[in-house]
Chains A and B, each alone.
Chain A
Amino acid sequence: EVQLLESGGGLVQPGGSLRLSCAASGFTFSSYAMSWVRQAPGKGLEWVSAVSGSGGGTYYADSVKGRFTISRDNSKNTLYLQMNSLRAEDTAVYYCAKGLGGFTTPRGFDYWGQGTLVTVSS
């Protein structure tokens, strides 16, 4: 059974940093691209970032480029999102999502974690 478990959310001041983790199990982690998707309170879903299965390719939405860094440790089956220079508009539930098989970049998602809440406020 595929499981994705996010952690690392919390309250942080504007300009601060936070690192999210997503522990994966139930599939060959290194074979799949992984993404982070967020949802601000009362708003729709927004794709944030993706990383290829090998970790060699990383991709970002314009809204976070230069501030967020996605990475993965295939030996630990864990996905990360390092978030720097956080802003109030980054407040959201952050989900990790498993990419479809057969692609090095995300063409959609088949499994989702339950999410972790990040609140940016003074």
Chain B
Amino acid sequence: QTVVTQEPSFSVSPGGTVTLTCGLSSGSVSTSYYPSWYQQTPGQAPRTLIYSTNTRSSGVPDRFSGSILVNKAALTITGAQADDESDYYCVLYMGSGIVVFGGGTKLTVL
């Protein structure tokens, strides 16, 4: 079974830029997987950031952007702020109505 991979953790300095990635245990991610990204803080419901590779959800600042980098989906955060400290999850569409979440990346801003 194909696994969706994410970095378990990442850190960024305030004001800095960080790129989180979302890959496959076998194969390359393309726009056909409709990669999407979600932010979640402890005790809260997820918040949609990016869908269909690079479309920002309503109200999401343009500091957040999505792309395909080499063979992975990527979420880039520019000008990192303290309240960006969260868990970030990607989702890939596998076809036949099935979607799979990555294991999540815990982002620390320090």
Q: Which residues of A contact B (CB under 8 A)?
A: 35, 37, 44-47, 50, 52, 57-59, 61-62, 95, 97, 100, 105-115
Contact = CB atoms under 8 A, between A and B. Distances in A.
B71 interface: no
B11 interface: no
A107 B45 contact: no
A59 B51 contact: no
Interface centre among B35, B52, B97, B98 (most CB of A within 10 A): B97
B54 to A, nearest CB: 12
Interface residues of B, number: 27
A45 B103 CA distance: 7
Contacts, number: 76
Contacts of B87: 44
A105 to B, nearest CB: 4
B48 interface: yes
A76 B93 CA distance: 28
Contacts of B35: 108
Interface of B: 1, 34-36, 38, 40, 45-48, 51-52, 57-58, 87, 89, 91, 93, 96-104
Given A105-B97, A108-B34, A45 B89 contact: yes
B45 A45 contact: no
Contacts of A37: 46, 101
Interface centre among B1, B45, B93, B98 (most CB of A within 10 A): B45
